[in-house]
Chain A
Amino acid sequence: MKELPVFLLDGAEVPYRPGQSVLQAALAAGHYIPHLCYHPDFQPHGSCRVCTAKVNGHTVASCTTMADSAVEVESDTEELDDLRRTLVQMLFAEGNHFCPSCEKSGNCGLQALGYDLGVMTAGFRHLFPDRPVDASHPDFLLDFNRCILCELCVRASREVDGKNVFSLAGRGITKHLIVNSQSGRLVDSEIALSDKAAEVCPVGVILRKRIGFVTPIGQRRFDRSPISKQALEDAPRTGAGCDD
């Protein structure tokens, strides 16, 4: 069996298969780099910047940087974790993320990341924007207050469902999620309960109606273990010489 090439991550050797990103290879090898908009089933996006690492001294998104034996990667440093905490704070400050009454609490990627990184402060003045709730569809609730612009729903709808239910519109601070229907409302879109886009939202935007608080506290996803542990468990493996 041919041995895989390696790169250095925080001093440790990480095997990779050509074509994998630094993030993919790291996760597969059991090294957690925090991330939010990356999902193993879709093309990486590089928008949330939480997976920022130093590659040969340059700050890059590790999800869009190809693994290469020539690089030395730094990720597990206090400086980078401070940066990641700031990003999480900014995401919280931009929208209306009221964890206490959100049904996604305990199953939320943004929240779990905050816990894991140890985000304890608000950091920024919260904007308290006036964002809509689209309850038009009989089966889904869209709560735009909580959108973090990760675009997983956009990618899922396009790449897996073959639809195109969601898009991001606007630029800069006005960038926001929209529904691609004539009226702009979800009820007039093609979304279906079986869609990948319906289940991929890491936060509490795209919700199936009338589920609500169905899981008791203590049994929710991130009550059982932190997101760093689960990300490693869920990462597809880089097998030496095998097709995964």
Chain B
Amino acid sequence: MNDSLETAQNAKSLRRVAIEPLSRVEGHGKITLLLDEDDRVRQARLHIVEFRGFEKFIQGRPYWEVPVMVQRLCGICPVSHHLAASKALDQVVGAVQLTPTAEKLRRLMHYGQILQSHALHFFYLSSPDLLFGFGSEAARRNIVGVAAAYPDIARKGVLLRKYGQEVIRHTAGKRIHGTSSIPGGVNKSLSVDERAELLNDIYRMVAWSRDAVHLVRRFFEQDLETYRGFAAFKARTLSLVRADGAMDLYHGGLRATDADGNATFDHLNYDRYWEQITEEVKAWSYMKFPYLKALGPEDGWYRVGPLTRVTRCDFIPTPLADRERRDLLAFDNGSVTVSTLGFHWARMIEMLHAAESIKDLLHDDDIVGKDLVVKGERRARGVGALEAPRGTLIHHYRVNDDDQVVRATLIVATTHNNQAMNHAIREVARRYLNGRALTEGLLNHLEVAVRAFDPCLSCATHALGRMPFSVELLDASGETVAQMVRD
């Protein structure tokens, strides 16, 4: 446990070094280090420095505005919020089961965003570190440098992202902050021409996604010592899985595992997520620290996202991605599963899975259907969860009889990873920085660790929210006399 690096003794006598802002990540964050006179790191913290207040100002708004407003929390993964909010509001409007066309169009939108978000993260943001080296010359460590030295890789990255964005445009109405997903379904069908246009390029996208997986594998092979041990640690995990244990990024039940992969709970309905998960506040970050209630804040933190999803599902239901998953697990006695850099390999496997899933959906005739919206018995609350590119995302709304939102709670992926990211930078600080004169290249190693999580720090700063909770009144013999739930 390296929590001794969370808070140093005698902080005032130590020297402060800050990495500010974090670059090649989405959103605003900074890392601060406190070092003693022997250049040993005594404290390392990842600070989230901003907040928005969405859960407060959404109150009083009509519920049908929520999917369109909430996605403005993030410009990379707006579709995650657009869809998670829609799923929550499906429950509010009584849409127990969407039409096949609506569900598939939403899934198509979701896989489109997985594809573009993962492509953006890998090619535009992280590849410079992986291609040039973590301590390489700063001026070159960016997409421009990659375009100059590896034009083919850069071009494929741009076109993969472009394809994902086009899928989103055709399903959501525009590439960023679309409006098509609504409570009970979608407002836009896919035309035959749009489908043909997307089918044109999908095989290339599948092939290039697979190439990307192999590219990451080669990074591991070429520098195994570095890659297998970089911020390597076992962690509890959380993800959604399908009823049969398959990876399903759009819908599923909650699976939590301990650090060795044994289930803590499995196939749990996310409807009452707050019975399992709660949050801690620390003075030095606006982002809270979620943990499993039953285990407490010290032991109950967990990791979400691609590395968790790929290694903790039973299988991936698309063949090429599943084969890559098995290769990842078999590689170097499973060292990839504990290395923070394993995120990159897992992320490219998910990109491949997204491409394969898009291909399957485009071949399904329901995708051009016209039956788009359903409605049922109105309810007062709804919870929607899915696996966003960065991890498990939960939206929770309560709506009054006048159709106004009276309460909103969001738990976003990057928040779940707060403790894990802090843990990773402390591992890196211990291994690479202790006792050494700090150079820009060395400091970049800390950012490499954070980048691997693909944090969406804008999403993480949504919060001025309230966790739901329940209160039980027990009599002297321990029997429940009354119970109140606020959610």
Contacts and interface: CB of A to CB of B under 8 A. Distances in A.
A binds B: yes
Interface of A: 100-103, 133, 135-136, 141, 207, 209-218
Looking at chain B's contact residues, is the secondary structure mostly helix, strand, loop, or mixed?
A: loop
Given A213-B180, A213-B187, 14 more contacts: A101-B68, A101-B72, A103-B64, A103-B65, A103-B68, A135-B402, A209-B62, A210-B64, A210-B403, A213-B179, A216-B180, A216-B187, A217-B173, A217-B188
A213 B182 contact: yes
Contacts of B14: none
A218 B177 CA distance: 14
B60 to A, nearest CB: 5
B61 interface: yes
A135 B178 contact: no
B179 A133 contact: no
A215 B64 contact: no
Contacts of A102: 65
Contacts of A101: 61, 65, 68-69, 72
A218 B65 contact: no
B187 A214 contact: yes
Contacts of B173: 216-218
Given A100-B69, A135-B402, A216 B179 contact: yes
B420 to A, nearest CB: 32
B23 interface: no
Contacts of A103: 64-65, 68
A212 B182 contact: yes
B62 A141 contact: yes
Contact of A217 (B179, B402, B403): B179
Given A100-B177, A133-B404, A135-B402, A216 B188 contact: yes
Interface string B55-92: 00000111011011100100000000000000000000
Looking at chain A's contact residues, is the secondary structure mostly helix, strand, loop, or mixed?
A: loop
A133 B173 CA distance: 28
Contacts of A218: 173
Contacts of B68: 100-101, 103, 213
Nearest to A143: B62
Q: Nearest 10 CB-CB pairs, A to B?
A: A212-B64, A217-B173, A101-B69, A216-B188, A135-B402, A213-B179, A101-B68, A216-B173, A135-B404, A101-B65
Nearest to A102: B65
A209 B401 CA distance: 12
B487 to A, nearest CB: 21
Contacts of A213: 64, 67-68, 179-180, 182, 187
A102 B402 CA distance: 18
Given A133-B60, A217-B178, A218-B173, A212 B65 contact: yes
Given A101-B69, A133-B404, A212 B62 contact: yes
B403 to A, nearest CB: 6
B188 to A, nearest CB: 4
B349 to A, nearest CB: 33
B16 interface: no
Interface in B138-180: 173-174, 177-180
Nearest to B172: A217
Interface in B38-67: 60-62, 64-65, 67
A9 B464 CA distance: 56
A118 to B, nearest CB: 21
B449 to A, nearest CB: 34
A230 B69 CA distance: 29
Contacts of B72: 100-101
Nearest to A216: B188
B71 to A, nearest CB: 9
A89 B259 CA distance: 57
Contacts of A135: 62, 402-404
30 contacts: A100-B68, A100-B69, A100-B72, A100-B177, A101-B61, A101-B68, A101-B72, A103-B68, A133-B60, A133-B61, A133-B62, A133-B404, A141-B62, A141-B403, A209-B403, A210-B64, A210-B403, A212-B65, A212-B183, A213-B64, A213-B187, A214-B182, A215-B187, A216-B173, A216-B180, A216-B187, A217-B173, A217-B174, A217-B188, A218-B173
Residue from B62, B188, B403 whose CB has the most chain A CB atoms within 10 Å:
B62
A135 B174 CA distance: 30
Given A101-B72, A214-B182, A136 B65 contact: no
